[in-house]
Chains A and B, each alone.
Chain A
Amino acid sequence: QVHLQESGPGLVKPSETLSLTCSVSNASISSYYWSWIRQSPGKGLEWIGYVYWSVNYNPSLKSRVTLSIDTSKNQFSLRLNSVTAADSAVYYCVRGRSNYGDFDYWGQGTLVTVSS
């Protein structure tokens, strides 16, 4: 069974950088499209971007986001800089079967709060 697990700080100060890592089990990180999706409290889902052999970002976040893959560790990572309170959300790492989405496996999610 494919398993995804997010890790990283649960609290980030305003203007600093949010960094999360997703560890993938029972699936090759070299295949599939690996995405980050977030959900602000009480709100809907927002796609942040995916990393594959290339990257693609949500235009609304593109200037602040960097996604990367570490094939040696079977992990992928998210960096979001210059965060504000509006970036407080549950962040999910997700496997996509295509670049059009088709998200078939999700991590449990990790809550990140932006506050001083």
Chain B
Amino acid sequence: QSVLTQPPSVSGAPGQRVTISCTGSNSNIGADYDVYWYQQLPGTAPRVLIYDNDNRPSGVPDRFSGSKSGTSASLAITGLQAEDEADYYCQSYDHSLSGCVFGSGTKISVL
């Protein structure tokens, strides 16, 4: 069981806006540790999409945005495209476990 909880799947039509939630607790996200988001395309290694809660590395389209509030974080994708079909993972730090923790992962499907 993952420390950070994500919905197993989210779907949307091309052009739509979708969001993925990442729910933690007061020992990780709620303790003000930063949240990171990773995209894993089929058969490939994950790549970072969002760092430090709401920052995009160079090369990541501005269709992707991150936010954090309380014990939760969210990843939003606007203008959904077929190429966005992938698994998405949130990640943070947990001070009770003294280590990095990942979300359970969310599969985005484009209808």
Contact = CB atoms under 8 A, between A and B. Distances in A.
Interface residues of B, number: 26
B63 interface: no
A103 B100 CA distance: 10
Interface string B89-101: 1011100011111
A101 B103 contact: no
Contacts of B98: 56, 59
Most buried by B among A47, A49, A96, A99: A47
A102 B92 contact: no
Contacts of A97: 51
Contacts of A57: 99
A85 to B, nearest CB: 20
Interface string B71-108: 00000000000000000010111000111111111000
Interface stretch (A12-20, A23-31, A73-81, A104-112): A104-112
A47 B100 contact: yes
Given A44-B102, A96-B100, A100-B34, 16 more contacts: A44-B2, A45-B91, A45-B105, A47-B102, A56-B99, A58-B97, A59-B97, A92-B46, A97-B51, A99-B93, A101-B100, A102-B48, A102-B52, A103-B36, A108-B44, A108-B45
Interface of A: 35, 44-47, 49-50, 56-59, 92, 96-97, 99-104, 106-109
Interface of B: 2, 33-34, 36, 38, 44-48, 51-52, 57, 89, 91-93, 97-105
